[in-house]
Amino acid sequence: MMRDIGGGPRVLLRRLRELMAEPLEPQERLDRIVREIASNMVAEVCSLYVLRADSVLELYATEGLNPSAVHRAQLQIGQGLVGTIAASARALNLTDAQKHPAFAYLPETGEEIYNSFLGVPVLRAGRTLGVLTVQNRTKRNYREDELEALETTAMVIAEMIATGDLARLSRPGLDLDLSRPMSFTGLAFNEGIGLGHVVLHEPRIVVTNLFNEDSEEEVRRLESALGSLRLSIDDMLSRRDVASEGEHRAVLEAYRMFAHDQGWVRRIEEAVRNGLTAEAAVEKVQSDMRARMMHMTDPYMRERMSDFDDLANRLLRQLMGRGPEAIAESLPKDAIIVARSMGAAELLDYPRERLRGLVLEDGAITSHIVIVARAMAIPVAGQVTGAVSMSENGDAIIVDGDAGRVHLRPQADVEGAYAEKVRFRAKRQELYRELRGRPSVTRDGVAVDLMMNAGLAVDLPQLAESGAAGIGLYRTELQFMVAATFPRAEQQEELYRHVLDVARDKPVTFRTIDIGGDKVLPYFKSAKPEENPALGWRAIRLTLDRPALLRTQIRALLKAAGGRELRVMFPMVTEIGEIRQARELIDREVRHLSRFAHHLPTSLKLGAMLEVPSLMWQLDELMQAVDFVSVGSNDLFQFVMAADRGNTLLSDRFDPLSVPFLRVLRQIADAGKRAGTPVTLCGELAGRTISAMALIGLGYRSISMSPAAIGPVKAMLCELPAGELAAMLDALLGKPDGGTDMRGLLDEFARKHDIPL
């Protein structure tokens, strides 16, 4: 199959290997490479164009064209044959190039006399960095193996570009495309701004050994690695936690199918037979494939592409004898993790003090990784398409978690603006830290407990840091949501004990698992698909129907709180009967444990969350039935307004600071006062300064929020004349509502009294 004239692909690759090993200046090396290719392929011309940051392809080296055109001749992306190759990331093989509609003649090169043309994109991780071409005067047909050889050479050049070898050849102000600043718009998953350097979660494995010594031996090595890869996938599939149906299984099954995909395997083998090492062949096939797929819009195909990417990475690891990448010791101090997607547990493997942000190509606000990142107070941008393939480890990067934007290799002015924002925030944080030691009392002497919400062990350091008075809402379902299977009783108990240990004498209110609705456990599905999951089988409804689940949790809580106070509340209570039922179950557990002489809590306080409007007409009974009530304003608002809390089309449509909802909140606070039952509020409303101010005006004396909100809310509180605000709200809410702009009036009140909002 291989011809002898010119030496064929294997000889070319050997020559390239020698050239790469020689101590040459970059320009000299390029010149020798193009000369070698031309001679090997019996072509009169071989040229290399490199893509600059301004989208211009500049001639970097040539054998055969006018040498004075080097670094002078240039084409836009999409212009001429070379520009077409760069734009499409596909090779062009033409017997009569001048007949091609895109043909454009650059007079400085003197290329008008050439007829046949073969050009390939210079690709790295699917990204086009340049174009490599050969030309002949005769109308010649370039063979498939010649195309392969040229593509392989292009890979070598891609490495030279990526390692910065060619950067020295560019003229001042004309950077290479690889260092071009890029901005991406995704979704804001967690607020905050992070400046730092890219750490690819799955670092691209850098293949340094490109050329094989013995193709047959190399094919055998490839086959053995493929064999192990297939076995490891089978092994994962047979593990208990993926044995049943589910997303995870579906992904692995797709992997298994691809690992046996004849086309994929054949293309890799072909590249090996042409002289590449198995690793280089895997990378080449992957890069070609990704470049082609990049132009596809079909989401199914794109998804499959990322499966192939993962698979190729696994295969590379097999070949290089490496396990999953250990977290590098050399992690920068300001790491911003860039990943297609990742598991929550993997994020926890990174040292927190070095993390400045997280960029995900996939993900949703409800994904586990995002929940955990939020608990760790890391800024997150999600759905950032292209972030992984466009970044290199060590690139400067900014994550704007407020706007969901990412700036890769930012220009100095962008970086300056963000650095200023970060400094400003840090200064404010400093101010909040100073407030931490001050009593939480309004200007007119009303004490208000500022509590924090939590749900994972990583949240706990915030308790001391934020100066919160306790944990007002501990969302126990988060432990269930980040696990692969139901956490065992001992694991639950261990976590609860840890929470209480960290909290010491500060109160903690545990909420029993609140799953269903938008909080799904992949390993636990509702028996029937639900049309309206928010109104469905969830929270206390579900746990009362699955008493074993609730009993296990209650027992774990009782044991963990032995010798101290235990506060437990139930989510989504709809009728008083549910509280009675839950209390019976708890009583039974208490009796059970005392029979076995367990150390019991010193006191047990039971509460209900007020999230379902039906309780509004059972308020007095409710206050009698429990030791405390906690308003879940997120759900309560969604149900009062009939507006899905996750629907962005509705997110600004109705205002919780409107007369109807403020009246609802006031009625609850009043009922609590009448009965002497403490009422608190633990939805997002408590964490926004203006609404926190309103809550205090309505009579709330304990509110629970995300730890980051404690500082700003306290700064507001210290300046608030609570009595005056209460009088104003009383008057306004007592009047017939003609669409009063309550938010505007509250804003004005704050301004008048110099209250920082």
Q: Rule CB under 6 A: which residues touch ligand PEP?
A: 473, 475, 514, 611, 632-635, 682-683
Q: What is the DSSP letter of 121?
A: E
- The span from the CA of 248 to the CA of 250, in Å, is 5
Q: Which is nearer to ligand PEP, 277 or 704 (CB)?
A: 704
**Smaller CB distance to ligand PEP: residue 318 or 512?**
512
Alpha helices in 605-681 (DSSP H): 619-625, 633-641, 659-675
Least separation in angstroms between CB 661 and ligand PEP:
13
Task: Output 12 or 508, the one with its CB closest to Mg ion.
Answer: 508
Q: How far is the CB of 571 from ligand PEP (least distance, A)?
A: 7
The sign of the dihedral angle between the CA atoms of 404, 295, 315, 258 is positive
Q: Name the active-site residue from 46, 201, 407, 682.
A: 682
Nearest to ligand PEP of 369, 640 (CB atom): 640
Cβ count near 665 (within 10 Å): 28
DSSP secondary structure string for all residues of 29-64: HHHHHHHHHHHHTT-SEEEEEEEBTTSEEEEEEEES
Residues whose CB is less than 8 angstroms from the CB of residue 220 and which lie 6 or more positions away in sequence, other chains included: none
Residue 79 interacts with, from Mg ion, ligand PEP, none (CB under 5-8 Å by kind): none
Shorter beta-carbon distance to ligand PEP: residue 414 or 457: 457
What residues does 632 pair with on adjacent strands?
Answer: none
Alpha-carbon distance 186 to 692, whole Å? 30
Nearest alpha carbon to residue 77 among 104, 37, 111, 98: 104
Q: Which is nearer to ligand PEP, 20 or 457 (CB)?
A: 457
How far, in Å, CA of 200 to CA of 640, rounded?
44
Per partner kind, with CB cut-offs from 5 to 8 A, the member of Mg ion, ligand PEP, none near residue 513 is none
Residue 475 binding: pick among Mg ion, ligand PEP, none (C-beta 5-8 Å cut-off by kind) = ligand PEP
CA dihedral (654, 659, 663, 666) positive or negative? positive
SS3 readout for 429-450? HHHHHHHCCCCCECCCCCECEE
Q: Which of 368, 598, 599, 718 is catalytic?
A: 368
Q: Are 60 and 66 within 8 A, CB to CB? A: no
Smallest distance from ligand PEP to CB 191, Å: 17
Choose among ligand PEP, Mg ion, none what residue 473 binds, the Cβ cut-off being 5 to 8 Å by kind: ligand PEP
Residue 683 interacting entry, from ligand PEP, Mg ion, none, C-beta within 5 to 8 Å by type: ligand PEP
Tokens read off for 480: 């269930």
* Minimum CB distance to Mg ion smaller for 269 or for 635: 635
Which is nearer to Mg ion, 132 or 631 (by Cβ)? 631
Are the C-beta atoms of 322 and 348 separated by less than 8 Å?
Answer: no
551-571 burial, b if ≥16 CB within 10 A, otherwise e? bbbbbbbbbbbeebebbbbbb
188 token code pair: 């804001």
Burial class (CB in 10 A: 0-12, 13-18, 19+), 149: buried
Which residues contribute to the site for Mg ion (CB under 5 A)?
A: 611, 632, 635
Coil/strand/helix, residue 508 = strand
Secondary structure of residue 483 in the 3-state scheme: coil
CB of 735 to ligand PEP, least distance (A): 28
Which of 399, 686 has the CB closer to ligand PEP? Answer: 686
Minimal distance in Å, beta carbon 630 to ligand PEP? 8
368 catalytic? Reply is yes
47's contact among Mg ion, ligand PEP, none, with CB below 5 to 8 A by partner kind, is none
DSSP calls for 96-108: SGGGSTT----GG
Q: How near is the Cβ of 206 to ligand PEP at its closest, in Å?
A: 44
User: At closest approach, how far in Å is the CB of 644 from Mg ion?
Assistant: 13
Closest CB to Mg ion among residues 357, 632: 632
Residues forming a β-bridge with 275: none
Q: Cα(62)–Cα(135) distance, rounded to whole angstroms? A: 11
Q: Shortest distance, CB of residue 615 to ligand PEP, whole angstroms?
A: 13
Reduced DSSP (H G I as helix, E B as strand, rest coil) percent helix, strand, coil of the chain, to 5: 50, 15, 35
Per-residue burial over 400-428, b if 16 or more Cβ lie within 10 Å, else e, is bbeebbbbbbbeeeebeebeeeeeeeeee
Question: Shortest approach of ligand PEP to residue 491 CB, angstroms?
Answer: 21
**Pairing of the two strands 193-200 and 335-339:** parallel
| Shortest distance, position 639 Cβ to Mg ion, whole Å | 10
Amino acid identity for residue 179 in this structure: S
* Alpha carbon 557 to chain centroid, angstroms: 32
Active site residue 682: yes
| Residue numbers annotated as active site | 368, 682
